[in-house]
């Protein structure tokens, strides 16, 4: 599938090699540019009728996943809960700080539709696509290594439901790669759809791209780095392999794909403006959806279940978890929106902003998600600033929200129920706001504490006072918990305007506690209140 002008380019590039050998690179470039201009002039009209069709035929709806209730509460008489508290108390001392608005889902970008549709080219074998146009796979393929390479812009590849299978979990089923002289051109307006890919390192791999659409594919059962059956592998820092991998990609979409049973479902790195929406990424050993050094992007309306592995922990303990999870933002992923996802089942963690000795992931928003039955933390964010965890539903995990060395974060309007340990737990964090949440039927609803740490080991942290202080734990409804609010060596906090209902103990303050403002409202059922009155 070469362009008619291929012979001209071959002559030019062959001449270029001779000229470079003589040190006349400038002459080469001048000849090349003149030839390119002539080629463009001769082919401009033809290309106008053979360019990209429509990358999208419809904008996928953004629907809030149906909330799944799993497990039986370990305590009785859990009150029914709704997305917002039935009553928002007014703090007695100072109002809850005003909170910045939650960003809305980004509109799905729609490329300009060209005036006519190009003819469809049939693909019957593994090949390189290096010319614009429509391509349709007409048969199943098997490959040892890379199968289909796309090295052009304005390409639609439709596999029409056919399968591309690897043989040894290496290479890529479909690879979108740079092209042109010195591979200086980045593919744009490329769509890959309706493909089934398996047994590769990654089913779909993007070296770089702009305005790409990867949609309606099943890229499952690719490379996994754990032992088959036992799911035993390394404790996660980083790993490779999976369904869909995007590198250095901008303003693109990953829509309605299935990416199950491999190391990583959808893996986006060093990118921006990427929308990952409506996908199913489950039963992977590392992460369902993984953003690394990816900014201003979106993961919304996805379903991710049972993403977990077993490994050896620090003290030699072997168990499940290992920093696996449903959706993870790593290594300085900033300004992203994680919204309306269903993160359920046996994930190690639910949604995890991870920054261990790495650049922080700050100013991300986690909102409207349903997070149920994960092994450890429904939401975890560490070492970073300006993150928001708002209006989520969390049930039946170890901890609801875990903060570590975090500052200026918001945890607001969430419903957190049946946590085996804590609703919100915070270590060495400062200046955070926990407000308007319902925390129900958990061990401790809110626990903020300080702990000594090895300052040499954490020497990469910016300078600052990493003790627990100056947090606003305001206006929450805390019901049927063992303890409502627990402070340990945590100072100068505003614990005001909370409503305490049927907790075994409402407030527990230990260790350093200077400057704390502790006020709230107690509510009792009528019978309990009458018994208390008669006992006096």
What confidence score (pLDDT) does residue 68 get? 37
What confidence score (pLDDT) does residue 101 get? 55
Is the dihedral angle over the CA atoms 454, 460, 461, 463 positive or is it negative?
A: positive
How far apart (Å, rounded) are the C-alpha atoms in residues 225 and 114? Answer: 43
Q: Containing H/E element for 124?
A: none
CA-nearest of 256, 162, 268 to 209 is 268
- More confident call, 111 vs 290: 290
Phi, psi for 159 (deg, rounded to 5): -80, -10
How far apart (Å, rounded) are the C-alpha atoms in residues 73 and 341? Answer: 23
Does pLDDT of 85 surpass 80? Answer: no
Q: What tokens appear for 325 in the block?
A: 């999870």
Mean pLDDT of the region 404-414: 95
Length, in residues, of the chain = 536
Q: Containing H/E element for 161?
A: none
pLDDT per residue over 153-187, tens digit each? Answer: 999 999 999 999 999 999 999 999 999 999 999 99
Does pLDDT of 285 surpass 50? Answer: yes
Decide: 199 and 168 in contact? Cβ < 8 Å: yes
Using DSSP, state whether 534 is helix, strand or coil.
helix
Q: What tokens appear for 222 in the block?
A: 């690719």
Decide: 153 and 189 in contact? Cβ < 8 Å: yes
Using DSSP, state whether 241 is helix, strand or coil.
coil
What confidence score (pLDDT) does residue 522 get? 65
User: Count of alpha carbons within 13 Å of 121, Cβ hemisphere only?
Assistant: 19
Burial zone of 267 (CB within 10 Å; 0-12 exposed, 13-18 middle, 19+ buried):
buried
How far apart (Å, rounded) are the C-alpha atoms in residues 299 and 311? Answer: 27
Straight-line distance from the first to the last Cα atom of the chain, in angstroms, rounded to the nearest whole number: 92
Computed over every residue of the chain, the mean pLDDT equals 82
Instruction: Rank 233-247, 456-470, 514-528 by mean pLDDT and report only the highest.
Output: 233-247
Sequential DSSP letters for 340-406 = S-EEESS-SEEEEEE-SSS----S-EEES-EEES-SSEEEEEES-BS-EEES-EEESSSEEEEEES-
Secondary structure of 224-278 in HEC code, one letter for each residue: CCCCCCCCECCCCCCCCCEEEEEECEEEEEEECCECCCCCEEEEEECCEEEEEEC
Q: Which of 35-39, 174-178, 314-318, 375-379 has the lowest mean pLDDT?
A: 35-39
Mean pLDDT of the region 231-249: 95
Q: Which of 258-272, 294-308, 351-365 has the lowest mean pLDDT?
A: 351-365
What confidence score (pLDDT) does residue 383 get? 87
pLDDT range class, residue 466, cuts 50, 70, 90: confident
What confidence score (pLDDT) does residue 116 get? 55
What confidence score (pLDDT) does residue 108 get? 53
Does pLDDT of 84 surpass 70? Answer: no
State the pTM of this model: 0.79
Q: Containing H/E element for 533?
A: helix 526-534
Secondary structure of 411-423 in HEC code, one letter for each residue: EECCEEECCCCEE
Residue percentage of the chain with pLDDT more than 70: 74
For 260, other C-beta atoms within 10 Å of its C-beta total 22
Residue ranges of the domains in the chain? 6-48, 398-536
> Rg (Cα) of the chain, in Å, rounded?
27
| Angle between helix 25-48 and 6-21 (nearest 10) | 170
């Amino acid at each position: 599938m070469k362009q008619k002008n291929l012979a001209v380019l071959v002559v030019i590039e062959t001449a270029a090699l001779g000229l470079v050998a003589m040190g006349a690179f400038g002459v080469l470039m001048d000849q090349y540019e003149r030839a390119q201009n002539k080629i463009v002039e001769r082919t401009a009209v033809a290309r106008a009728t053979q360019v990209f069709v429509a990358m999208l035929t419809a904008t996928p709806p953004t629907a809030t996943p149906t909330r799944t209730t799993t497990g039986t509460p370990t305590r009785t008489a859990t009150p029914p809960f709704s997305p917002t508290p039935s009553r928002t108390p007014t703090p007695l001392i100072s109002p809850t700080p005003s909170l910045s608005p939650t960003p809305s889902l980004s509109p799905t970008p729609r490329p300009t539709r060209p005036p006519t549709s190009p003819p469809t080219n049939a693909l019957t074998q593994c090949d390189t696509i290096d010319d614009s146009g429509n391509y349709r796979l007409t048969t199943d393929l098997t490959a040892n290594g890379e199968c289909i390479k796309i090295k052009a812009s304005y390409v639609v590849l439709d596999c029409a439901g056919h399968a591309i299978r690897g043989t040894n979990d290496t290479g890529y089923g479909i690879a979108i790669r740079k092209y042109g002289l010195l591979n200086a051109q980045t593919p744009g307006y490329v769509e890959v759809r309706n493909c089934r890919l398996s047994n590769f390192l990654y089913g779909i791999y993007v070296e770089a791209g702009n305005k790409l659409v990867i949609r309606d594919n099943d890229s499952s059962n690719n490379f996994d780095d754990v032992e088959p059956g036992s799911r035993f592998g390394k404790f996660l820092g980083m790993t490779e392999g999976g369904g869909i991998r995007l590198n250095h990609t901008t303003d693109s979409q990953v829509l309605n794909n299935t990416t199950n049973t491999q190391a990583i479902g959808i893996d986006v790195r060093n990118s921006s403006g990427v929308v990952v929406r409506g996908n199913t990424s489950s039963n992977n050993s590392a992460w369902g959806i993984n953003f690394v050094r990816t900014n201003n992007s979106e993961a919304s309306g996805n379903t991710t279940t049972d993403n977990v592995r077993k490994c050896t922990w620090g003290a030699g303990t072997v168990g499940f978890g290992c920093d696996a999870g449903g959706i993870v933002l790593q290594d300085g992923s900033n300004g992203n929106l994680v919204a309306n996802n269903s993160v359920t089942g046996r994930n190690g963690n639910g949604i995890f902003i991870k920054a261990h000795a790495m650049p922080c992931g700050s100013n991300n928003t986690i909102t409207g998600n349903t997070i149920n039955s994960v092994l450890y933390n429904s939401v975890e964010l560490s070492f970073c600033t300006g993150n928001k965890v708002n209006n989520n539903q969390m049930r039946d995990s170890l901890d609801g929200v875990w903060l570590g060395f975090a500052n200026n974060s918001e945890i607001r309007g969430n419903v957190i129920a049946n946590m085996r340990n804590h609703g919100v737990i915070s270590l060495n964090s400062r200046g955070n706001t926990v407000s308007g949440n319902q925390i129900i039927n958990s061990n401790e609803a809110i626990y903020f504490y300080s702990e000594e740490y090895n300052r040499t080991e954490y020497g990469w942290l910016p300078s600052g006072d990493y003790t627990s202080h100056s947090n606003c734990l305001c206006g929450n409804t805390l019901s049927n918990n063992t303890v409502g609010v627990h402070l340990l060596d945590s100072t100068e906090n505003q614990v005001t305007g909370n409503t305490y209902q049927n907790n075994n103990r409402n407030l527990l303050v230990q260790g350093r506690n200077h400057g704390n403002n502790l006020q709230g409202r107690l509510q009792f059922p009528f019978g309990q209140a009458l018994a208390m009155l008669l006992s006096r």
